């Protein structure tokens, strides 16, 4: 990633895209009081420098997939190339290097009911250990507040998606959260949106081999049913937050739901989910610096009832941040 500095307009643009990743630049420009060309130019600069990407993120529970959180121990100096190799696999959702430099933490997305991908990983010569946990129920929608603090309430209201695209129960979603049967169009459309959530309808039509009207209609259906949402990928360091930390918590079962919901409301929280395994809650938090992280761990988690144990690992780098649905 080339060196980039974000000003207020950049942060406002990122906030707007977090509200609606496919919002027209003209709509964003009107709310921000600048020209369409200025907004488009700002986004192109951030996108071309690899500082920002809008990604279409499928809900694995609705696409018939299961997410496995996998921790890999690696030999010294082998973790970074191994992380890059894992990021190229079609079944990884995100891949990160942890603080020791000899650990990789990643999420694998596999068919629901399928096993965690442990056998082939354990046979790799550079891997010293493998541990897998099934992610069960996310407690938040992944919207870390550090990306959504640049707009005022009136601007937020003006830029929220319309009912036509705002994620809500729709004709594709079952009341019990059952998986949605993916069509041939979906299997081309979802990977294209994971690569570029702002790809134009003509580009999506060319990629999928379907008509532009079919692509437009199907994407609207998928968004209404919350099968796919849009997330802004940006390095938290560009927003002034230098400490990103992975947390594994062991919580008293009777308090697990309450603790998950409580942490999900924290401004530091970027992801919270219950898991299988002895540490039954996984979270990602983002803090201004290590002092702020220490305050969060001791002053927040340290006094939270029901938390028996916390394990931490600082994120040092991301090899991959967004998932795609396998074509097939």
Provide, rounded to the nearest whole percent, the portion of the chain with pLDDT above 90: 61
Number of domains the chain contains: 1
In a domain, 75, yes or no: no
55 in any annotated domain: no
The mean per-residue pLDDT over the stretch 270-274 comes to 94
In a domain? residue 136: no
Residue 210 has a pLDDT of 95
- Residue 147 tokens read as 């990306």
Residue 214 clears pLDDT 90, i.e. is over it: yes
Mean per-residue pLDDT for 317-324? 68
pLDDT digits 0-9 by tens, 280-318: 999 999 999 999 999 999 999 989 999 999 999 999 988
In this predicted structure, the answer to whether residue 173 has a pLDDT above a threshold of 60 is no
Instruction: Report which DSSP code applies to 152.
Output: -
pLDDT attached to residue 171: 45
Q: How far apart are the C-alpha atoms of 199 and 22, rounded to whole Å?
A: 9
Whole-angstrom Cα distance, residue 236 to residue 240? 7
One-character DSSP codes across 288-300: SSHHHHHHIIIII
Whole-angstrom distance, CA of residue 25 vs CA of residue 60: 29
User: Is residue 295 a part of any domain in this protein?
Assistant: yes
CA distances from 309 to 138, 154, 301 (A): 20, 42, 10
Cα separation, 257 vs 246, in Å, equals 19
Q: What is the pLDDT of residue 50?
A: 87
What does the alpha-carbon distance between residue 39 and residue 45 come to, in Å, rounded to a whole number? Answer: 10
Confidence of residue 22 (pLDDT cuts 50, 70, 90): very high
Residue-wise pLDDT tens digits, 83-115: 999 988 888 888 999 977 789 999 998 888 777
Quote the pLDDT of residue 192: 93
Residue for token digits 């921790």? 71
**CA dihedral (294, 319, 104, 250) positive or negative:** positive
pLDDT at position 236 = 87
Across-strand partners of 66? 110
- Provide the domain limits for residue 255: 235-315
Rounded mean pLDDT of the chain? 87
Average pLDDT over residues 73-84: 90
The pLDDT value given to residue 141 = 65
pLDDT value, residue 2? 58
Asked, for residue 160, whether it belongs to a domain, the answer is: no
Domain presence at residue 39: no
CATH of the domain at 254: 3.30.70.920
Residue 228: its H or E element: strand 228-234
Task: For residues 6-24, give the mean pLDDT.
Answer: 94
* Residue 217 φ then ψ, to 5°: -65, -45
Residue 324 has pLDDT above 70, yes or no: no
Amino acid 167: pLDDT? 47
State yes or no: pLDDT of 328 exceeds 60.
no
- Structural domain includes residue 265: yes
H-type helices in 7-66, by residue range? 8-19, 25-32, 36-48
Query: How close are the terminal C-alpha atoms of the chain, in Å?
Result: 32
Dump pLDDT digits (tens) for 127-168. 998 999 999 999 986 577 777 788 999 999 999 886 455 444
pLDDT band at 170, cuts 50/70/90?
very low
pTM of the model: 0.85
Band of pLDDT at residue 11, cut at 50, 70 and 90: very high
Return the SS3 of 122: helix
Asked if residue 227 has pLDDT above 50, the reply is yes
Please state, in angstroms and rounded to a whole number, the distance separating the CA atoms of residues 116 and 65. 12
In this model, does residue 117 exceed pLDDT 90? no
d(CA 259, CA 254): 10
Q: How confident is the model at residue 172 (pLDDT cuts 50, 70, 90)?
A: very low
- Report the C-alpha gap between 279 and 257 in whole angstroms: 14
In a domain, 37, yes or no: no
Q: Give the mean pLDDT of 36-62.
A: 92
């Amino acid at each position: 990633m080339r060196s980039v500095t974000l000003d207020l307009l950049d942060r406002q643009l990122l906030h707007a895209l977090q509200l609606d990743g496919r919002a027209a630049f003209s709509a964003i420009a009107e709310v921000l009081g600048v020209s369409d060309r200025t907004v488009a130019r700002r986004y192109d600069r951030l996108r071309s420098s690899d500082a920002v990407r809008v990604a279409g993120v499928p809900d694995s529970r609705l696409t018939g997939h299961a997410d496995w959180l996998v921790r890999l121990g690696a030999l010294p100096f082998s973790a970074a190339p191994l992380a890059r190799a894992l990021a190229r696999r079609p079944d990884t959702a995100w891949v990160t290097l942890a603080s020791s430099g000899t650990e990789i933490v990643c999420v694998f997305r596999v068919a629901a009911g399928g096993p965690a991908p442990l056998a082939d990983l354990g046979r790799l010569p550079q891997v010293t250990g493998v541990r897998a946990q099934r992610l069960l129920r996310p407690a938040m929608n992944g919207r870390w507040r550090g990306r959504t603090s640049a707009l005022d309430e009136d601007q937020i209201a003006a830029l929220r998606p319309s009912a036509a695209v705002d994620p809500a129960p729709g004709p594709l979603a079952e009341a019990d959260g059952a998986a949605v049967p993916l069509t041939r169009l979906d299997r081309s459309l979802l990977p294209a949106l994971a690569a570029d959530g702002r790809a134009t309808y003509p580009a999506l039509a060319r990629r999928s081999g379907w008509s532009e009207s079919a692509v437009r209609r199907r994407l609207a259906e998928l968004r209404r049913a919350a099968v796919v949402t849009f997330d802004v990928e940006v390095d938290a360091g560009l927003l002034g937050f230098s400490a990103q930390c992975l947390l594994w918590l062991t919580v008293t079962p009777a308090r697990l739901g309450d603790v998950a919901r409580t942490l999900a409301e924290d401004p530091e929280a970027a992801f919270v989910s219950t898991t299988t395994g002895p540490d039954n809650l996984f979270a990602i938090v983002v803090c201004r610096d290590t002092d702020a992280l220490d305050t969060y761990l001791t002053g927040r988690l340290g006094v939270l009832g029901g938390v028996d144990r916390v394990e931490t690992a600082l994120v040092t780098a991301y090899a991959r941040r967004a998932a795609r649905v396998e074509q097939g």
